[in-house]
């Protein structure tokens, strides 16, 4: 272990990891009046939760790098996870907050088979709307922490890795989630997000492809803006 630990990155990484763990441990047991343990995939149907886990692993690896700064293996593992976690967190945050503010009925789940009219997030019945602190822990903290970490404590990726690596990773992760969420929905009879439930298969494919492309482009832009 290093004789001294750089306090600023260590505080960022430990605080971010703690906030993410708090978010995960306080997930509601029921969503849309359905117990999550009765649904195929449970909370892991949600892209948010998968992204949260990848981001948390990245923070834990970052803590390892803070404590053992000369470990090339930890550094390589952290950089690999960061390349997946960062664009995923950005996509989750942008889509979630945009829909929550503009079209909350497209992102907040209601009771199964219920007819719902679009309404403001302040009038949606519980338990659909998460408490603000939990909402921020799940849908804002990962993206903020990863962006601050990347710009403050990490070197930018090469143009080759940024361009082709991001496309390959985004395609792989997008394909994985598309297959997984379609599989879960085939058992549950609904998707974890209303904008998927309300869309036919061809539109869902376009959504998966568009989100994957957005993730790749986001990473390219974020990397290009790195000083």
Per-residue pLDDT of 80-100, as tens digits, reads 999 999 999 999 999 999 999
Closest to 45 (Cα-Cα) out of 182, 217, 181, 205: 181
Q: What's the whole-model pTM score? A: 0.89
Q: Which helix or strand (DSSP H or E) is residue 30 part of?
A: strand 30-31
13 within 8 A of 59, measured Cβ to Cβ: yes
Which contiguous run of DSSP H or E holds residue 31? strand 30-31
Beta carbons within 8 Å of 43's beta carbon, 6+ residues apart: 27, 36, 49
- Local confidence band at 207 (pLDDT 50, 70, 90 cut-offs): very high
Q: What is the average pLDDT across 197-207?
A: 96
Q: Which of 145, 136, 147 is nearest to 23 (CA)?
A: 136
Residue 33 CA to chain centroid, in angstroms?
23
Tens-digit pLDDT profile for residues 85-138: 999 999 999 999 999 999 998 998 766 554 444 433 444 444 468 899 999 999
pLDDT band at 79 (very low <50, low <70, confident <90, very high): very high
d(CA 56, CA 187): 29
The domain segmentation of the chain, as residue ranges, is 7-224
Residue 90, both tokens: 């950005």
């Amino acid at each position: 272990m290093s004789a001294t630990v750089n306090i600023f990155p260590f505080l960022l990484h430990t605080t971010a990891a703690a906030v993410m763990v708090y978010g995960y441990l306080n997930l509601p047991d029921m969503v849309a009046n359905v117990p999550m343990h009765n649904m195929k995939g449970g909370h892991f149907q949600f892209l948010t939760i998968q992204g949260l886990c990848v981001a948390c692993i990245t923070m834990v690896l970052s803590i390892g790098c803070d404590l053992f700064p000369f470990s090339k293996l930890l550094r390589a593992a952290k950089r690999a996870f960061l390349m997946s976690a960062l664009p995923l967190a950005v996509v989750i945050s942008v889509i979630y907050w945009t829909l929550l503010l503009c079209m909350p009925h497209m992102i907040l789940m209601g009771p199964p088979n219920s007819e719902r009219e679009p309404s403001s997030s302040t009038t949606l019945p519980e338990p659909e709307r998460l408490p603000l602190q939990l909402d921020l822990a799940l849908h804002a903290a990962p993206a903020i922490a990863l962006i601050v970490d990347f710009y403050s404590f990490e070197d930018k990726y090469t143009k080759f890795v940024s361009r082709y690596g991001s496309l390959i990773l985004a395609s792989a992760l997008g394909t994985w989630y598309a297959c997984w969420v379609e599989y879960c929905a085939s058992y549950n009879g609904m998707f974890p997000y209303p904008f998927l439930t309300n869309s036919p298969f061809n539109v869902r494919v376009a959504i998966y492809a568009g989100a994957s492309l957005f993730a790749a482009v986001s990473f390219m832009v974020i990397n290009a803006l790195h000083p």
